[in-house]
Structure 1
Amino acid sequence: MKHVDPKRAKRAALILALAAGLVLAFANRGQFSQQALQAWLAAAGWWAPILFIALYAAGTVLFLPGSVLTLAAGALFGVLPGALYSLTGATLGAVLAFLAARHLAGGWVAQKTGGRLKQLIEGVEAEGWRFVAFVRLVPLFPFNVVNYALGLTRIPLGSYALASAVCMLPGALAYAWLGHAGRAALTGDADAIRNGLLALAAAAALMFLPRLIRQFKAGLMITPEMLRALQAEGSIAVIDVREARDFDGETGHVPGALNLPLGELDQRIDELNPWRKDGVVLICRTQVRSGQAARLLARQGFSGLRVVRGGMLAWRELGYPADWTSATTENAGATDRA
């Protein structure tokens, strides 16, 4: 009898259960209304808040419209309790969808993605909670889709959950207030609430986009783990922009790195021509000088630049090996390849 891998069997069962839930949810989507929800919860008595939170979480995973749930919460429970219950359910559902994507498809996506898509994912991962906050505050991004999409990145679960909860609070309060105000006030107040949320989104975009643009122009921030993966793939140059004494100093340097000090980079930029397109990873002791080097290279037409977050200090904290070989040897290697 053929042996069945328990992990694969469990994953297959979860995928089937999720698929069945999605089919069921879409088949009954027409019956999902604020009036029906309010009638059902009103009959639940003391269990209504718990049932509502569970339903909101399940609805988030199954792509049911969250606005209907939040409006109903305001009408049934009041503004503040309704917003709290909605926020709890939405956060729980967002976490469940995030985990489902990460454990059911994350490994496959990591193997299949490459090129620009991989760069985009790395950029999102480098921004971490800031990116989560941005997509939660800007209502242009579909809430249910974003939950699954972010699960395919390596953003930490804690950062994802906390940023989601905090940045979904304004929307939860707004929609709970609308639901509490009732149908009579809905027509007159909906535009004001919507405009307020759009203003908040615009403010978030103004705060976030300049940083994002600078990040893409001056180099994506990557972790030491990402650098190890890139080195395993080959075809990149790891450029350490510290002085030679630091390159061979107490922290050592990344094995295979080339030493091009920041002060000499302008004069020796031709040595990096083989990696002008998507091939340069910059590192220093922390990330200050490597960030400066990335901006300098970006002005010279280099693209796909990446900067190691935390630099050599982060590399060593993770226990990764470091070399203390002569910088002269590394520089000679760079010249030979140019």
Structure 2
Amino acid sequence: MMNKRITQVLLLLLIAAGIALAVVYREQLSGDALQEWVISLGSAGPVVFMLIYIVSTLVFLPGSVLTLAGGALFGPVWGTFYNLTGATIGATLAFIIARYIASEWVEKNSGKRVAKLKEGVEAEGWRFVAFVRLVPLFPFNLLNYALGLTRIRLLDYILATYLFMLPGAFAYTYLGYAGREAISGGESFIQKGLLALALLAVVAFIPRLVGRLRQGPMIDVSELAKQLKENDPPLILDVRTVEDYVGKQGYIIGSFNIPLEELKQRIAEISDHNDSPVAIVCRTDKRSVKAARILARNGFSNVHVVRNGMTAWNSAGEPVSHEPPV
């Protein structure tokens, strides 16, 4: 036990020292100097480049400079392979280090809120890793260590990281390649530059696409009424205005009202439910669909829209309240 503690402390100090050095010498990082040095290494260049990427991932250096340099050095295909491989190995090492150093401590000392969040992440497993790789809600380097504190399987983590970082890695690598062609005056550099911009546009659209995919199916009021009688009912999020909430249609007892117009600013009020079921209701379901997209883009993983909303709830004769909420 003592030897393990000593090793954990040494690893922690080593990572801290690496981060400190990276911060001190951050301004001296130069893509051009890196390229010249890697080229001078000849056949060993790709291996050294990946080693640099691995270390940079561990010590929180930005990967964008390296990714662009990889494209300029090795072209779009091999550059993507070296970039993605280096980033994945670095992410995996960070994951393993965090698991070895602190996962037991986190397991024993997590508060209810952290434990619930952790359980939700673990329940999704590789799907959560895929989501955060496609939609970078959190800083890449920090996320690698954070995921190591969960019980997500190592193999699932590696495969999801490699596969779902591929679109972004290829787009930015190609941008570096196109930049090199533009500087050198290579043929068709305009077409390559336009293609690079198109790839970046596709990558920028991915979060919206993934948000829609993560949006759960619509549920009928009969199913919602059944769920509300179970031991672990969903959060009912009513996104109508305050006036409509206590107006003619009333509201579902136990629901929580955040008007659609305020949802982005007030989303922290329901952050405890980002991994548990959320049923969204409005007068029909138009506002609810928009709200579901906002929640999905902010990491909510189990979102459902109530079909035809309060109109259907009232038609079914389900109970409502008109009293101002406390």
TM-score range, shorter chain: 0.5 to 0.7
Other structure's SS at 1:12 match: helix
User: What is the deviation of 1:85?
Assistant: 0.5
Q: Cα distance 1:306–1:180, how it changes in 2: closer, same or farther (>3 A)? A: closer
- 1:44 to 2:41 alignment: yes
Q: 1:25 aligns with which of 22, 26, 46?
A: 22
Q: Cα distance 1:79–1:187, how it changes in 2: closer, same or farther (>3 A)? A: closer
- 1:146 to 2:117 alignment: no
> Match of 1:175, as an amino acid?
Y
Q: Structure 2 length as normaliser, TM-score? A: 0.63
> Match of 1:22, as an amino acid?
I
Other structure's SS at 2:216 match: helix
**Corresponding residue for 2:214?**
208
**Corresponding residue for 1:100?**
97
Distance 1:142 1:187 in 2: 27
Distance 1:140 1:157 in 2: 21
Runs (5+) with no aligned partner, structure 1:
219-262, 279-298, 308-338
The number of equivalent residue pairs is 229
Runs (5+) with no aligned partner, structure 2:
183-189, 236-251, 256-271, 278-326
- 1:91 to 2:91 alignment: no
Does structure 1 retain, via aligned residues, the 8 Å contact 2:175–2:197? no
Does structure 1 retain, via aligned residues, the 8 Å contact 2:178–2:193? no
**Corresponding residue for 2:178?**
181
Deviating 4+ runs (over 4 angstroms): 185-191, 275-278, 299-307
Does structure 1 retain, via aligned residues, the 8 Å contact 2:103–2:149? yes
Distance 2:178 2:196 in 1: 10
Q: Structure 1 length as normaliser, TM-score? A: 0.61
**Corresponding residue for 1:170?**
167
Distance 2:203 2:234 in 1: 40
Distance 1:104 1:11 in 2: 5
Distance 2:31 2:199 in 1: 19
* 1:57-96 alignment, distance < 5 Å: 57-96=54-93
Distance 2:155 2:16 in 1: 27
**Corresponding residue for 2:119?**
122
* 1:1-338 alignment, distance < 5 Å: 5-182=2-179, 184=182, 191-210=197-216
Distance 1:100 1:36 in 2: 30
Q: Cα distance 1:193–1:93, how it changes in 2: closer, same or farther (>3 A)? A: same
Other structure's SS at 1:140 match: coil
Deviation per CA, 1:122-179, whole angstroms, max 9, x where unpaired?
Answer: 1010000000000000133311111111111111110000000000111111111111
User: What is the deviation of 1:188?
Assistant: 6.3
Distance 1:26 1:125 in 2: 32
Other structure's SS at 1:210 match: coil
Deviation per CA, 1:178-221, whole angstroms, max 9, x where unpaired?
Answer: 1111253698666544322111221112112438x99xxx9xxx
> Match of 2:209, as an amino acid?
A
Does structure 2 retain, via aligned residues, the 8 Å contact 1:134–1:205? no
Distance 2:34 2:211 in 1: 34
Distance 2:138 2:29 in 1: 22
User: What is the deviation of 1:16?
Assistant: 1.1
Distance 2:211 2:39 in 1: 39
Deviation per CA, 1:1-29, whole angstroms, max 9, x where unpaired?
Answer: xxx91111111111111111111111111
Does structure 2 retain, via aligned residues, the 8 Å contact 1:61–1:94? yes
Deviation per CA, 1:260-290, whole angstroms, max 9, x where unpaired?
Answer: xxx9x96xx7xx6xx9999xxxxxxxxxxxx
Does structure 1 retain, via aligned residues, the 8 Å contact 2:120–2:276? no
